[in-house]
Amino acid sequence: MIDVHLDTDIGDDIDDVFCLALLLQCPELALSGVTTAWGRTGERCDIVADLCSQVALAPPIAGGFAVPMASRRFHDDLLLRLIYPFDGPSKFRTDAVEALRLITAVPEDGVILTIGAMTNAAAAMLARDKREPFPRIIAMAGEFQRYGHIEFNIRCDPEAAHVCFSRGTPIDVIPWSIGPATKLLPSDIDRIRASDTPLCRRVFHYLQSFWKHVPNKTNMYDPMTVVALLKPELFDWKRGHVAIELRGEHTYGQTTFREDPGGPHRVAFGVQAEAANAFLIDRLTGTEAKQ
Amino acid sequence: MISVHLDTDIGDDIDDAFCLALLLQCPELSIQSITTVLNDTAHRADMCRDLCSATGKNPPIAAGSRGVLTRRPVEWAMKRNPYHSALRRTEAKSNMPETLELLAAVRRSADVLLTIGPMTNLAMSLVADPDVSRFPRYIAMAGEVRTPHHGEWNIRVDVDAAAVVLDSPISIDFIPWRIGIDTKLTDAEQAELDRATNPVAKVLNAFRQQFKKTDKRQEMFDPMTIVALLHDDWFTWQRGTVAVETRGDHTYGLTHIRPHEDGRHRVAVGVDAQKAKRWMLDRLCAEKTS
């Protein structure tokens, strides 16, 4: 069993829901805790708790930092956004101290998945001495193949991302371009809809709620962090150094990659999308696809 | 006849020599003047004289700025000098006053300005006189907007000069780096040029032979400014505002386009490469220019 901690901005794009649901359906992984990032972090926790309850799990959950470290903010208005909120009474509030406690408790051989702004992970790193080992991170973050694209999780908090990527901590990166490549097909959605498990019903409920605002979007950015953890052979990796542009006037938040066989970072430059999506949907529904 | 001024760093990559040779082989165009830029500009000016004299032309040629404006230069670029000797040497030094005078005259009277090297000379001209109420049509080989994280040479060598030019209100058509990659010459196309016997081609081929001793590149970045001037419709253009990153640690010198319909800049984002190369080779190999 691998201890996994999830740091998520669930409630904006729908892929966070798929990522958490996939985690809950992987018996190889033990979800040791969940923290939320960006804006309404307390309410994001309500969605996390709701999904976990569908499989009778109650991991420690904490609402992390509500505002970014970045001094030049792109998205102050988006700090207020929550596209598909939990439809019951809210039980959580922002509690950055508890969030830090949860992340710093992840064992060295555990894994932290960051699928939102990297504020919480950066704060946990800054709280430690640089020489202290930090658990491996798999991050949905950045973009390296699409000209000028400043990926959302990075641009929400470039300074936090810089902290994470500049300390030599091993980080595997699922960049933006993997998301459109693994967009779910209508047949994939049909399988989730047809599944009668409480978790799939809840995933489909949030998907429908999300689609009222962003119709038909099913790019699977975040779940690919879990697929990368369990099926790394499905990705084309390049090892090297990722850096975040912090001073640029036109390029603030852009990610750059310098290939180096000894570098601490691995970036997925390609994915076997069909196999990755099959793994995702098979696990979510607990079934194999019918041929 | 369309009067054209060329500002070039001829002597580094071979494509500057292609560009000037093509300009000389186009009967629709007349060279008003030439300025050179970067490092040994007097040597570069001699190379321009060699090509021009092959057609009996003697336009004013000034050796421009040896140095660059940027405070974060590419160190090795500042040590690089022309790849081969001009056929003759005039022992002239750089002459910045004459360069600025020529550019001032170009801004008053020329139809077209082409820059195919770092924009240092033009930036100095714009700083000396910011009034651009009259400005020729301007086509620049500069920048890149499709290949992630590619810092194009002409911009990267003098980022601050590029910023002066791009921030000014003049209209600019850009031939970015990728267009040169798309129009790289094949071995067969090079062999065709080897057989050309007109006076300009002979000088060009002498330069090519020198260049080949140390460098095999055959991308046609710079000549595409001429092709774009005379065959605009062979290119796919994107209109917008191009800016250069002057502050970034990791992105210093990258160009960025913000697309919008009213933009003063156009960037070539595609080219009919076969048409463009065929036309260029026909012109370069033609025995008569009219």
| Tens-digit pLDDT string for chain B (290 aa) | 999 999 999 998 999 999 999 999 999 999 999 999 998 899 999 999 999 999 999 999 999 999 999 888 887 777 776 665 566 667 678 899 999 999 999 999 999 999 999 999 999 999 999 999 999 999 999 999 998 888 999 999 999 999 999 999 999 999 999 999 999 999 999 999 999 999 999 999 999 998 988 888 999 999 999 999 999 999 999 999 999 999 999 999 999 999 999 999 999 999 999 999 999 999 999 987 65
Residue burial B127-142, b: 16+ Cβ < 10 Å; e: rest: eeeeeeeebbbbbbbb
Whose tokens are 């336009």? That residue is B59
Nearest CA in chain B to A150: B148
pLDDT recorded at residue B72: 83
Task: Give every strand in the sheet of B29-36, ordered side by side.
Answer: B61-63, B29-36, B2-8, B112-115, B137-141, B172-175, B265-271, B235-244, B255-259
Spatial contact of B112 and B229, defined as CB atoms under 8 Å apart = yes
Q: Is the pLDDT of residue A288 over 70?
A: no
Tell me what the pLDDT averaged over chain A comes to: 94
Mutate to test the interface with B, among A143, A147, A166, A257 (most CBs of B within 10 A): A147
Cα separation of B47 and B29, whole Å? 20
Which residues make Cβ contacts (< 8 Å) with residue A141, sequence separation at least 6? Answer: A114, A118, A151, A153, A154, A161, A173, A174, A175, A255
Query: Are A247 and B254 within 8 A, CB to CB?
Result: no
Q: Is B217 exposed, middle or buried (0-12, 13-18, 19+ CB in 10 A)?
A: middle
- What are the angstrom distances between the C-alpha of B91 and each of A21, A257, B8, B33? 75, 45, 19, 20
**Closest in A145, A146, A247 to B248, CB measured:** A247
Q: Does B245 touch chain A (CB under 8 A)?
A: yes
The helix or strand, by DSSP H or E, that contains position A149, with its residue range, turns out to be none
**Main-chain dihedrals φ then ψ at residue A207, nearest 5 degrees:** -60, -45
pLDDT in tens, A87-132: 999 999 999 999 999 999 999 999 999 999 999 999 999 888 777 8
Cα separation of A244 and A253, whole Å? 6
What number of other Cβ atoms are within 10 A of residue A107's Cβ?
Answer: 10
Query: Are A247 and B249 within 8 A, CB to CB?
Result: yes
**How far apart, in Å, do the first and last CA atoms of chain A sit?**
31
pLDDT recorded at residue B4: 98
pLDDT in tens, A50-96: 999 999 999 999 999 999 998 777 777 888 889 999 999 999 999 99
pLDDT recorded at residue A79: 85
Q: Does B259 touch chain A (CB under 8 A)?
A: no
* Nearest residue to B275 (alpha-carbon basis) of B233, B217, B221, B238: B233
Cα separation of A182 and A10, whole Å? 19
Which residues make Cβ contacts (< 8 Å) with residue A211, sequence separation at least 6? Answer: A14, A217
* Nearest residue to B6 (alpha-carbon basis) of B144, B126, B110: B110
Residue type, A19: C
* Nearest residue to A225 (alpha-carbon basis) of A114, A73, A88, A80: A114
Q: Does A248 touch chain B (CB under 8 A)?
A: yes
Nearest CA in chain B to A149: B148
**Closest in A244, A251, A257 to B245, CB measured:** A251
pLDDT recorded at residue B93: 83
A2-12 average pLDDT score? 97
Residues on chain A touching B244 (C-beta within 8 angstroms): 250
Q: Does B241 touch chain A (CB under 8 A)?
A: no
Spatial contact of A122 and A164, defined as CB atoms under 8 Å apart = yes
pLDDT recorded at residue B86: 60
A11-28 average pLDDT score? 97
- To the nearest whole Å, the CA of A143 is away from the closest chain B CA by 9
What number of other Cβ atoms are within 10 A of residue A137's Cβ?
Answer: 25
Query: Are A249 and B248 within 8 A, CB to CB?
Result: yes
Query: Are A249 and B247 within 8 A, CB to CB?
Result: yes
- Looking at chain A, the whole-number percentage of residues with pLDDT higher than 90 is 88
Query: Are A146 and B246 within 8 A, CB to CB?
Result: no
